[in-house]
Amino acid sequence: MTQSQADTFAPLQPAQIDWQAGTPVARVFDDPYFSRDDGPAETEHVFLQGNGLPARFRALPRGARFVIGETGFGTGLNFLCAAALFLDSAPDDTVLHFISAEKHPLTRADLTRALQQWPALRHISDELAAHYPALTPGFHRVWLCQGRIALTLLFGDAGALLQQCRARVDAWFLDGFAPARNPGMWSETLFQAITRLSAPGATFATFTAAGFVRRGLAAQGFEVGRVPGFGRKREMLTGQRPSHWQPVVPLRGQALVVGAGLAGATTARALAERGWQVRVCDPAGIAQHASGNLAGVIYTTPSAHGTAQNRFYQSSYLHSLHWLARYRFPYSVDQGALTGVVQCPPDQRHRDKQRAALGSGLWPTEILRSAGEGWPPDSLLLPAGGYINPAAWCRHLLAHERITVEPCTVTGLTPADHGWHISTSVGPRSVGPHHADAVVLANAAAAAQFEGLHWLPLKQIRGQVSYYRATEASRAWAQAICHSGYLTPAIEGLHCVGATFDLHRLDPAPEAADDARNLAELADNLPLHYAQLGGAQAALAGHRVGFRCQSTDFLPLAGPVPQLLGAAITHLPGLYLNIAHGSRGITGSALCAELIAAQINDEPAPMDKILRNALTPERFILRKRKKQPEWTP
C-alpha cells in the first residue's frame, strides 16, 4: 500500500456541526450546509434547474439510466431533491445513480436531525437514514426506493476518490463549501476527475462564480457561463461538455449463472433486479455444496491496516448487511438473527491485532466495539453482525419472477456473435444448446473445468462442521461467537460447532475425529459454553463436510474472464467469474455480485479502482507474466 493510498483511505474525521437556529453550520469552515432562507428552493434553482433536470428526466426513454455526480453530500438535501424529482418525473422503469463524495460526513445522529427539517421529503429521507452507511473510508453503495435509486457515497477526499471511480456522469452538482473557505477541494485534480467521468454533453451547475473555478473547468474543455444565482447571490456557474448528450439505455438480456450457492444466488438476484432474465444451473440444486451448512456467520476480521484485502473484508461485510436489510432477511428465528457477533482472540497475536483495530479509527463504534465483561480479554463485538441459514438466504434471493433455477449441468460454453451458446445435460441426457448474452461462473473450483480456465489459481479446503443438540442452558445463547472456530445459537434446535480446516484431504465422508476436534476447540476457547452444551457428553446430532474454494492470495475472483491475445490481455466478451470466497462467501458474495452486475450493465462501479484490481481475475496473469513473460493460460 502506497502512502497516497493510505492517505486516500485514512480514518475519517466526521463533520463537526454547530446548530444555529435549526441550520447546521460546519464548524471547520464556518459555512452553513444550505441556505438559511430556503434550502430546498436553493437546491432546485442551483442544481436541478441549473442542469435542466426537470425536462431531461421527463424526456428519458423507458429503461434508461441517469447518473448524477456530486462533490459534497453534506446533509443529503441535494440528493433528496433530485431523487424526489426523478421519482415524480422519469418513467417508472428508469434508474437514477447518484454518486456523491464527502470528506467529513455527518454522523447518523446529525444527518437524522437535519433530515427532519424537510417533511415533504420524508418518503425518501427516512429510507436514507435507515441505510446511511457507517463512517468508514471509501465507497458505499446503497439501493433505495425499491431499486429505482442507487446512492454511492464516497467517504474521503473528493478529488482522490473520484480518481478511483468508474462512471459515465450525465450531470454534476459541484457543491462543496465556498471556495474562499474550502479551497483545497476545488483543485486541478478534482477538475480532471470530473472531466474524465463526464459523458459527452454532460452538464454541471455550482453555486459559486469564483474565477478560478470558472477557469479550471474551462481549461478542461467545459463551456462555462454565468447565470443568476439564488436569493442574494448575484451569480452562479453552469456549463456543459461540448457534444450532444444522449441518455443511456442499458442492455437487459438473457443471463446464465452457473452455481446456485451464495455466489450464484447473489449474482442472479443482482442481475434480475436490473431487468435481466436469469437462468441458474446447478445439478445439485440450491446451496447443496459449501453454502449448505445449517448456519453461517455474518462477520469480518477487523484490522488496523487499510490494505486492499482488509478494505474488501470491511466493505463486503457492510454491503452484506445492506443486502440483508434491503431484502428483509432473516424474517424468522429458524433463518437466524442479526444479534451481533463476538470475536474472542484465541492467542496473543490475535489479541494484539484486535486491540490495534479497535484503536485505529477505521472502525466506528456503531460497527465495532469491545465485547466487555464476561468475555476473554480484547474480545470484540460486531453489533450488527449475526448468523443465518445460508440455504434459506439463497432460496430467498432466488425467489424472483425473472429467475429460474434448473437442476442441470453446464457441459460446454461456446462463444457466439452476441453472447454464448450453452450446452447442458440432465443426468445422461444432453439438452441445448441454449443462448445467453452473459454468463457468470459462480461454481467455485468447478469453474476450472471449463476450456481455457484450467489456469485458475484455486485450492480446495475441506471443512467439517458438527451439529450439537441444544440444551436448556444453550437455548439462551443469542450471539454467534468466533474464536479459532465458531459457535452459533440454535437453529431448528441445533448448534453449529466448527469448523475444521484441512488443505490436504478431499474425502467428503464425515469423520468422528473431526467432530472431536471441533468440540475440543470449543472447550479450549469457550469453556463455559462447552460446559453449557453438555461438555464431553454433548449430544452430537449430525455433521457436514464442505469444500471451501479459495484463491492463492485469499481474495475472491470477481470480474470478466481474461485471455491473452499475443502480448495483450483482453476479456472474453460476456463471461465473468464470481468464485473463491473461501469461508467468507456469506459475507463477500453480495458485493462481488454487485460489482459483476455493474460491469455487465456498464453502470457506475460500487467500489474503488484499487479494490476492483484486487479482485479482477486477470491479476494472476499479470503477476505471472512479471515472472515468466512467455506464460499463457
Residue 145 predicted with pLDDT over 70: yes
What's the pLDDT at 629?
39
Q: How confident is the model at residue 630 (pLDDT cuts 50, 70, 90)?
A: very low
What's the pLDDT at 77?
96
Mean pLDDT, rounded, for 389-395? 97
From-to residues of CATH 3.40.50.150 in the chain: 3-240
Residues facing 67 on adjacent strands: 97
The owner of cell 455526480 is 69
Which percentage of the chain shows pLDDT scores above 70?
98
Longest dimension (CA), the chain: 81
Global pTM value: 0.95
Q: How confident is the model at residue 177 (pLDDT cuts 50, 70, 90)?
A: low
Q: Where are the beta strands (DSSP E) in 384-534?
A: 386-388, 403-406, 409-416, 419-426, 429-436, 438-441, 458-469, 480-482, 486-487, 494-498
Lowest mean pLDDT among 111-115, 177-181, 308-312: 177-181
Q: Which residue has the higher pLDDT, 606 or 630?
A: 606
What's the pLDDT at 632?
35
State the DSSP H helix or E strand holding residue 154, giving kind and residue range, or none if neither. Answer: strand 149-155
From-to residues of CATH 3.50.50.60 in the chain: 254-288+393-456+554-627
Which percentage of the chain shows pLDDT scores above 90?
85
413 within 8 A of 322, measured Cβ to Cβ: no
Closest Cα partner for 361 from 586, 155, 151? 155
Residue 184 predicted with pLDDT over 80: no
- Using DSSP, state whether 317 is helix, strand or coil: helix
| Radius of gyration (C-alpha) of the chain in whole angstroms | 26
Mean pLDDT, rounded, for 386-396? 98
What's the pLDDT at 537?
96
What is the CATH number that goes with domain 337-387+459-551?
3.30.9.10
DSSP type of residue 394? H
Give pLDDT tens digits for 533-546. 999 999 999 999 99
Mean pLDDT, rounded, for 416-440? 88
Residues facing 138 on adjacent strands: 155
What's the pLDDT at 431?
74
Question: CB-based contacts of 206: which residues, under 8 Å, 6+ apart?
Answer: 46, 50, 173, 174, 175, 213, 236, 237, 238
Q: What is 254-288+393-456+554-627's CATH number, 3.30.450.40, 2.40.50.220, 1.10.1370.30, 3.50.50.60?
A: 3.50.50.60
State the DSSP H helix or E strand holding residue 195, giving kind and residue range, or none if neither. Answer: helix 188-197
From-to residues of CATH 3.30.9.10 in the chain: 337-387+459-551
Q: Cα-flanking dihedrals φ and ψ of residue 336, to 5°?
A: 115, -170
Please give the mean pLDDT across all residues of the chain.
94
Q: What gap in Å lies between CA 148 and CA 143, rounded to an integer?
A: 8
Residue 201 predicted with pLDDT over 80: yes
DSSP letters, 405-442, are EE--EEEEEEEETTEEEEEEEETTEEEEEEEESEEEE-
Q: Which residue has the higher pLDDT, 565 or 234?
A: 234
* Domain 3-240 indexed as CATH 3.40.50.150: yes
